[in-house]
Chain A
Amino acid sequence: MITFTPRDKVSKNWTIIAPILSIFLTIFFGLLIFTFLGYNPLETLYQIFLSPFSRIDRISDIFVKACPLIIVGIGLMLCFRANVWNIGAEGQFIMGTLLAGSFALLFPNVETKFFIFIMIIIGFIGGALWAFIPAILKTKLNVNEILVSLMLVYVAMLFIDFMVRGPLRDPMSFGFPLSKPYSQGALINKIPFPGIGYLGQLHYGILFIILLIPISWLFVNKTLSGFKINVLGAAPKAAQFAGFKQNTITITVLLISGGLAGVAGVIEVSANIGQLQPEVSFGYGFTAIIVAFLGRLSPIGILFAGIMIATVKLGADNAQISMGIPKVVTGLFEGILLFFLLTGETIQKYKIKWVGV
């Protein structure tokens, strides 16, 4: 049987080994399931994990796909560190997009790129407001934030569907549920590379990540607020004795994560879609939960995790086209990966020994 003994301190080696081992174990078990269900494991392996690297424009698309995942993941990192379970980022993403998008549609002729910054702020407010509902219910009435934030995802999905088919529909869309296209000022352009032109869909929204990663790193590691968040998550009793205001922290992390989800939505839609439609998110809010954990709740980890999960997502798209494997299959890998990552966290804290019975 297996026995656990607590380690004196968290194992440094396992902190690095565990995620890598988890990835390999996930691939192994994933392929086992594919083989069992009658798919060619080698071709699946190639399509899901390698085909996204096969062309330079595909590689840059990995970054495009990773962009919303990383932004949402950074916000969720704050929540999960504080032991606040916001699993409704998908809804906050949608509401931020919708609020900023509705604002953009009020100004059909704006040219200046300054406009996009206003949209980002409005997107932040939209997402934060949607996260404020579970925040206030949690802190005032002790309502479970997991269930409320999740229920609000369904509400947000239905609401954007209603808005795009109703009040916001473009009369010229020939009955399609689409809003009017955004004005020039509301769009995020692709990055031109001298001599090459565009690399896939690579756009200026990526710059936001380059800004966000160091800021969030400084916030969680070097500020008092970041420290309070960590203490509240790791040792709620200690936080209470130290006089940290638990409710304020809970509300703050929910507002920031909701806001960042909204910003991710604005960037995603302004860069890749250019108008509102019933589906704007494609599950980014849910996938970002995995990204936050795979990144070990650290900004730099989340950067790499976002890139990795984006690769699998694009790979699954390719696998759907070439092998007819349904796209939801990425969930299979994400779920197994999460199981092993969490097990890795236990191994960091405990020594495991096999003992003969």
Chain B
Amino acid sequence: MGWGLIVMEALILTIIATSIPLLLAATGELITEKSGVLNLGVEGMMLSGAVGAFAAVLWLGNPYYGIIAGAFCGALMASIFSIFIINFMTNQVATGLGLTIFATGLTGLAGAPLIGKTIPSLPKIEIFLLSDIPYIGEILFKQDFIAYLSIAIIIFITYFLKYSKPGIVLRAVGDNHQSAHSVGYPVKKIRWYATCFGGLCAGVGGAYIPLALTPHWAEEMTGGRGWIALALVVFASWIPWRIIIGALIFGGITIAQLVGQSRGWPIPSQLLSMMPYLATIFALTIISGRLSKNNSVVPSSLGKPFFDNQ
């Protein structure tokens, strides 16, 4: 294999790795939003997952415990959010912002003793024979556990939303909570589950950052990925597989600007660093223009509090 191909392969692997946290967090948020809940705390849940995973691996030594810890911390944050927005019917936008602010403070405090330490990365799992396929084998079949997991989740979600009864109920709750309630579905309970699943995914996505990308802990190390994940859900028009495309595009842009910086492109590094954020705005603009013409994909009850008159 020539040098060009090796570089190419390394580049693609980095792009995939960069997009996985976005992919997981966006998938979780998609399920949350399908149930009618808008959780703007994704950034906070990812941070919690990251610090939880880092601490767990530091103490227990095995990177796989990090995945469990990340999932737990993310879901814990989501359940705090759920208490307020579902049970106390608070404003979802403000509560979600509050969750991110809260988690930024909490993880900064909890993570202070972890700064400067290093943890082992998640091992790559080779899939027997398939990983020997030339060119694509190394890319597709020599990934770590979370990478496989994220694809499995996307496939599961696609099936779940389209063909399973609980999935259809979930969509009904998100599209019209009053009717779903009058038919007898437990709206609050379903939203609780959906929100916690979203937190769980965001937590694992956040955990991926210290487990696979940079093996250190730093304050606010998610660097806005949670917000980009929120934008990805809109970008994907609430269709699961499109999240993969979106996440890879954003991963690609992030890596492209990093490559540009290291190769000394004649563009100032700060302007290159703006690329992912500008691309997000650009993508949102294009998609939103289309969505406003055909808004049937947007969950109709999204962001509205539900009062069940008990």
Contact = CB atoms under 8 A, between A and B. Distances in A.
Interface in A66-108: 85, 87
Contact of B288 (A142, A293, A324, A334): A142
A328 B108 contact: yes
Contacts of B149: none
Contacts of A238: none
> Chain B, interface size: which category?
35 or more
B231 A143 contact: no
A293 B93 CA distance: 12
Contact of A147 (B95, B268, B274, B280): B280
Contact of B307 (A4, A147, A155, A166): A4
B288 A144 contact: yes
A143 B106 CA distance: 32
Nearest to A332: B105
Contact of A154 (B106, B108, B277): B277
B251 to A, nearest CB: 17
A186 interface: no
B166 interface: no
Contacts, number: 151
> Chain A, interface size: which category?
35 or more
Q: Which among B80, B89, B100, B101 has the highest number of chain A CB atoms within 10 Å?
A: B101
Interface in A130-168: 133, 137, 141-144, 146-148, 150-152, 154-155, 158-159, 161-162, 165-166
Interface in B223-279: 224, 227, 230-231, 234, 268, 270-271, 273-274, 277-278
Contacts of A350: 89
Contacts of A216: none
A352 to B, nearest CB: 9
Main secondary structure of the interface of B (DSSP, over half): helix
B310 A326 contact: no
Q: Which among B99, B268, B291 has the highest number of chain A CB atoms within 10 Å?
A: B268
A290 to B, nearest CB: 7
A141 B108 contact: no
Nearest to B307: A4
B104 A328 contact: yes
A299 to B, nearest CB: 19
Given A141-B285, A154-B277, A293 B227 contact: no
B270 A335 contact: no
A155 B90 contact: no
A4 B101 contact: no
B120 interface: no
B90 A4 contact: no
B101 A290 contact: yes
Contacts of A328: 104-105, 108-109, 219-220
A349 B34 CA distance: 27
Contacts of A148: 281, 284
Given A141-B292, A150-B227, A155-B274, A334 B109 contact: no
Contact of B108 (A3, A6, A142, A326): A326
B51 to A, nearest CB: 12
B103 interface: yes
B167 to A, nearest CB: 25
B105 A343 contact: no
Contact of A152 (B103, B104, B230, B281): B281
A315 to B, nearest CB: 13
Nearest to B290: A141
A339 interface: yes
A343 B84 contact: yes
Nearest to B95: A342
Given A144-B234, A151-B277, A326-B108, A343 B284 contact: no
Nearest to A342: B90
B97 interface: yes
Interface string A149-192: 01110110011011001100000000000000000000000000
Interface of B: 40, 80, 84, 87-91, 93-95, 97-106, 108-110, 112, 219-220, 224, 227, 230-231, 234, 268, 270-271, 273-274, 277-278, 280-281, 284-285, 288-289, 291-292, 307, 310
Interface of A: 2-4, 6, 33-34, 37, 85, 87, 133, 137, 141-144, 146-148, 150-152, 154-155, 158-159, 161-162, 165-166, 286, 289-290, 293, 324-336, 338-339, 342-343, 345-346, 350
29 contacts: A87-B97, A133-B281, A137-B281, A137-B288, A141-B288, A141-B292, A143-B289, A147-B227, A147-B281, A148-B284, A151-B277, A154-B224, A155-B277, A158-B271, A158-B273, A286-B101, A328-B104, A328-B109, A328-B220, A331-B104, A331-B108, A334-B101, A335-B98, A335-B99, A335-B106, A338-B101, A338-B102, A342-B90, A343-B84
Given A137-B284, A328-B220, 11 more contacts: A4-B89, A142-B289, A143-B289, A144-B234, A147-B227, A147-B230, A147-B234, A151-B227, A166-B268, A290-B98, A335-B102
